[in-house]
Amino acid sequence: MRVLNEETQLFDLGRARDVFRSGIKEIVQVETGERTLRCSTEHHILTVECWRRAGELSSHDLIAVNGVRTTQAGGQVPPALRRGIGVWTSMQRMTSIQPVDRCYGCGRRFPREALKLDHLIPVAVDLRRALDVTNLRPMCERCHRRKTNEEQRYARRGNKGAGAKFTRIVRHPRRVAEEETYDIEMEDPHHNFVADGVIVHNSYNEWSGRYSKLDAEFYVPDFVRTQVGKPGAYSFEPVDEDTRVLARAEIEENAARAFAAYERLLEQDVAKEVARMVLPLSLYTKYLWSCNPRSLMHFCSLRNHESAQFEIRRYAAAAEDFLERVMPVTHEAFIANGRVAP
């Protein structure tokens, strides 16, 4: 299926990981001058500002649709300049790629020597980002070759590439029916697809395990602690090494035993939504989290605090890192205000 790279605003091909039956929902019709999309009110559509639910849209909102994005062809960049950019990019390897890092194309981990540095926004698209360190990401050989071939194809198309453009909704989305609905989960790294010419999110909330088999991935804490104090006013203290090793072994053993029971039930044709009941809380899950900047700051204030649970603090720290990278001015104001959301 066609997916949009939100960094470059150019299209690529992606694979659907799974399809989820979501039940009967209210259906609205979103109309532009050229296209009509029917979807549930909860389905997320890319607007000029952010992802928004279809039921929240109104007339004159700008939404992303299938179009043509003008690019600067590779032939217009002088060869000497291209060589210079290549030398500069090679010099960033030691600081921009970890000893073992993740390819931002396929998501797999590789040693540094097996990774290249790739421009998120290609040089052929925006020469001004060629020497921008924040525009560099590690990429394995296979993904890099594929992306390079795609960029060359765009350059050969008369300086134009298939990408997103924004068009105005001509009328307020109107209710047209109540129908059975399905959600599609796309594989990494792009979680969207083109539906009737409109760019929509895969609208996947949480991997529930109701329609697809769950993976055997469990969280085993390295930091094992004891709870000291009374509810509402307790703190955590580390346990001794023998207890830590014993606790980790018990958690791992229980997870393996539970997953084996889960697979046995599936082999007996027990419904996935029933078989999953034997799985423990340590099972990893995936979900889509939507929020505005104020809500994100409020979450970071509460959960990236010394009194919060260790695991949620790590999650909140990652969320705050995202806020700092995407909205640095807002994050600076957040810190200046004592980490209190406005």
Please list the active-site residues. Answer: 303
241: which residues sit within 8 A by CB, 6+ positions away?
A: none
CB 124 within 8 A of CB 73: yes
The Cα–Cα gap between 66 and 247 comes to 53
The Cα–Cα gap between 33 and 119 comes to 35
The Cα–Cα gap between 133 and 120 comes to 10
Report how far Cα 325 is from the mean position of its chain's Cα atoms.
15
CB 267 within 8 A of CB 287: no
Helix (H, G, I), strand (E, B), or coil: what is residue 143?
helix
CB 338 within 8 A of CB 332: no
The Cα–Cα gap between 13 and 7 comes to 15
